[in-house]
Structure 1
């Protein structure tokens, strides 16, 4: 979670549920500036940090219930917080406590989440909503690796947007084809009741050849007349490459 990312989410009106580091510093709204007091008003209020329970204060809301396994689940909510890099973006922090968890890194008992969005997220939906993150990550990986979403060479954002629609259409066709149950397995893959999009993609060529297409048969190109005499092509627009700055080495601390 970074300040620029929160600003983009607010500008695009895109809600997001993210993990929160235990030592991430957030702040409450700044108190009003006392009249007659000299100096600039405060920009940040009191500190809120998950690793320091004394900074939590009383939660704005709490919820108790059960998770998808039927184990006890409790959620605490703190609202109207922000980070220093994006003070105009308010976020909500959730502390999820699962007593039936194993306590490992993959299955922790305590988890911290942050929510950014105009609509409020119910405390009981935090744990179940975050589980969709894994399917989203695998979907993006499938779009990049198998459908070549980011491998296309285009020059303008409009061209990439058109290519993204083509990739999305191909993804929809693969999802609809999963109901047919046809798949191609590699020797190391196990056969399961539910096939994966990658296994379906391997047999899409045979399925599409049987289904056909509503498009007309392409006409022969014949011999192209080429460019007229005296015509000159326009050079493609060039843009500077945005590179990350080199990290500044930290100076060693002097020992007293």
Structure 2
């Protein structure tokens, strides 16, 4: 049985590697071997030039940088390849997608275009900083239970002219469409849940994706004010009826009506968790920001609000309540507990970001152009997918001070990466060996660069309509 599982894992890995190679349209051999070098390197990736010394990369450092600067990847085709791999599901068979942004900080790259100011946290309270860099929006399928694994499905770089929630809606529409096209969702299956943090406008996201089989679950700030449903109109009253009911202020318990459901659960990590839910709450929309160009009457986007209060937080003081907004109009007590537990699984994506940056070296290269950064980002997504497919084929190469994992599925991505070099020959490599060539003459000795790179200022680009 173990041999059957090993052969199946190697078959899936080998098939993905071939299809990934077919998506490389230019400098395919160099790009493919660059991803292999990042997967097989001993220790964390610190620089691209060091990867050219790995035996899996049979080309020089000049070919490595040339592949990133001038190579080609068919992104649309590769998205379909990733979507056709195995997708983790919850216990009820539901697919849960998490969306979040991770920053590639480039504070000193004044010649790199399309940089934005990225919000970064510091150790001290109130020490957050805005540092120029390239923000990337990632979408990943979450696994049930506490784990450091996620299934990365898509990555999009945010441009200066992009609107945050609009970009997320377009990205999620592409991912969900690919999942449906790959047969992961069929008519009659549970709706796909989309989980996001407070940086996303949940009601607008649900409005933009209303034609898809999805439900949105996002965190709200603790200072938000929503509205209850409008009361029924009295007979004989003339004039336009009211569209909003009484205000529901998160910070004012006096404005809360009786909750629809109240649940309690005992957790090993957070102690007693008490949840309350209210149905059919909506925000009061105004024609500002993303709704400024909405021609029709502003919609009423109702959903369920959940307030979660836990007994303790690891390494923190008195915990503050967590507020969630779900696009479904009504829930059950069991669904309320499932929703807040699913939201906590969103933090597994933070483990993926840390692994990409600290181990695979996603933000280690000092690339100038954002196009080269996009190619390297997709190579990282391909490398992470290969590690996920190799979970059933890699033997545990644990350190003497590490605990042994009960099953191969419980191995972390870093421990799977340690043994990837051993199974790489069995998975095969479609890359062709390098051809013998002579280096170019380069710039003549003593000459100077007469065409310096232009400098670019970071920041958003706001487009406004000019009136004649």
Category of TM-score, reference length = shorter chain: 0.5 to 0.7
179 and 91 in structure 1: CA distance in 2 versus 1, 3 angstrom threshold: farther
CA distance in 2, matches of 1:77, 1:27: 12
Shift of 1:112: 3.1
2:387 match? 174
CA distance in 2, matches of 1:152, 1:219: 26
2:325 match? 115
CA distance in 2, matches of 1:91, 1:145: 41
3-state secondary structure, aligned to 1:170: helix
Is 1:9 the equivalent of 2:189?
Answer: no
2:306 match? 95
Shift of 1:97: 5.5
CA distance in 2, matches of 1:114, 1:122: 14
3-state secondary structure, aligned to 1:131: helix
**Structure 2 residue aligned with 1:52, among 249, 252, 257?**
252
CA distance in 2, matches of 1:45, 1:234: 63
Contact 1:95/1:110 (<8 A) preserved: no
**Structure 2 residue aligned with 1:131, among 327, 336, 344?**
344
Contact 1:115/1:121 (<8 A) preserved: no
TM-score normalized by the length of structure 1:
0.63
Which protein has the bigger helix share? 2
Shift of 1:46: 6.5
181 and 68 in structure 1: CA distance in 2 versus 1, 3 angstrom threshold: farther
Deviation track 1:160-198 (CA, whole Å, cap 9, x = no partner) reads: 221111000000111111112413222321111221111
* Higher deviation after alignment, 204-213 or 147-156: 204-213
Higher-Rg structure is 1
C-alpha RMSD over aligned residues: 4.4
97 and 112 in structure 1: CA distance in 2 versus 1, 3 angstrom threshold: closer
1:206 match? 422
Contact 1:19/1:114 (<8 A) preserved: yes
Contact 1:94/1:112 (<8 A) preserved: no
3-state secondary structure, aligned to 1:144: helix
Is 1:224 the equivalent of 2:440?
Answer: yes
3-state secondary structure, aligned to 2:282: strand
1:158 match? 371
CA distance in 1, matches of 2:436, 2:363: 31
Runs of 5+ in structure 1 lacking a partner?
32-43, 243-256
Shift of 1:142: 0.8
CA distance in 2, matches of 1:206, 1:122: 51
3-state secondary structure, aligned to 2:248: strand
Runs of 5+ in structure 2 lacking a partner?
1-118, 120-162, 173-193, 197-216, 231-243, 268-272, 292-298, 460-468
